[in-house]
Amino acid sequence: MNHVPGHELLLEADGELNASRTPEVRRHLAGCAECRRSQAELMETLGAAVDAQRELALPPIDGARASLASGLRPVGGRAVLAVGALAAGLMVLLWHWTPDRANPSAPRPELTPGAVQAGFSCAVEAERPVIANTAAMEVFRKYGIHDPRPRTYEVDYLIPPDLGGSEDLRNLWPQPYNDGIWNARVKDALEDRLRTMVCSGSVDLATAQREIADDWIAAYQKYFRTRRPLPDHVAFVKDQPWE
């Protein structure tokens, strides 16, 4: 399989890929988990460099994507950073030294693969149905949580209704508010961002649904261009906790 070059992965993520090339690249990404991982890794690396620039008060890294893309070369079918590029080397170093994301209560794919329904429309803001307590308790039971504490979890839609997600139990999981940095409030911020992008035409609906279901943390890092949640999103309020 011929993989997508690194510079095109960056341009596609930023919505700046040539219009004639975009459909082919998106079709490839839809069926190639390896290229999706490469794209997420490149965005994480770039995010780490931006974070470092802010924290160390370095000069702005305008044109970072162009600089990063120029240092890419294919190795084993995947895009990696050229060793000789000092800036790219710094990005890789920061990426490897930054602790991995941790979310021990992430949705389990065999229990919560995600489910969608027909009728999505940007013209109408989809209501987020209140999940019946019987359904919520079934979700907790599936995840082995037999005595959930009120206001500790959000029984969350993996694919939210405002992105076409359904009320099917396969689309629900108990997401904690205080279990690591990748909590329910951070995911809510991503949901709003993806709907805005879908409705503006910068991301197609199927891609948004797939990415949030496959790995919502990687999707957050990709679309907010940061390795860690933004401070405003840690306390982002959108949905009610389970009580």
Query: In the chain, what are the domain boundaries?
Result: 1-98, 104-243
The pLDDT score that the predictor gives to residue 49 is: 60
Backbone φ and ψ for 47, nearest 5 degrees, come out as -60, -40
The pLDDT, as a whole number, for residue 103 is 53
The per-residue pLDDT for 179 is 66
- pLDDT, position 160: 93
Confidence at residue 55, expressed as pLDDT on a 0 to 100 scale: 54
**Residues 77-111: tens digit of each pLDDT:** 444 444 334 444 444 434 333 434 445 457 899 99
Q: Which parts of the chain sit beneath pLDDT 70?
A: 1, 45-105, 179, 235-241
Which pLDDT value is given to residue 73?
A: 47
Looking at residue 197, its pLDDT comes to 96
Q: What is the pLDDT of residue 129?
A: 76
- Distance (Å, whole) CA 96 – CA 91: 9
* Greatest extent of the chain over all pairs of C-alpha atoms, in Å: 58
Q: Name residue 176's beta-bridge partners.
A: 153
DSSP state of 161: G
Residue 105 pLDDT: 53
Residue 202 falls in which region: left (phi positive, over 0), alpha (psi -120 to 50) or beta: alpha
Q: What is the dihedral of CA 6, 9, 15, 18, to 10 degrees?
A: 70
The pLDDT value recorded for residue 142 is 93
